Amino acid sequence: MGGHGQGDAPTDVPGYLVAYALHLTAANIVMLGEAFKAKA
């Protein structure tokens, strides 16, 4: 189940897990942007 792509058999991913991954990514982007601005 690692790596990119689903292979031959598609896997259903629950919506809550998708939302978590997107929110976690967004939070990291915001944090990095704020840290960069604070450093300058």
Is 34 within a domain?
yes
What one-character DSSP code corresponds to residue 11?
A: -
Contact by Cβ (8 Å): 29, 19: no
pLDDT at residue 1 is higher than 80? no
Split into its structural domains, the chain has a count of 1
Is 30 within a domain?
yes
Is 6 within a domain?
no
The pLDDT score that the predictor gives to residue 40 is 75
Show the tokens assigned to 17: 């897990």
Is 17 within a domain?
yes
- Provide the domain limits for residue 27: 13-40
The pLDDT score that the predictor gives to residue 8 is 82
Show the tokens assigned to 2: 């690692």
What is the rounded CA–CA span in Å between residue 28 and residue 1?
24
Show the tokens assigned to 12: 């259903």
Lookup result for tokens 């689903």: 6
pLDDT tens profile 4-35: 777 788 888 899 999 999 999 999 999 999 99
Is 36 within a domain?
yes
Q: pTM of this prediction?
A: 0.70
Is 8 within a domain?
no
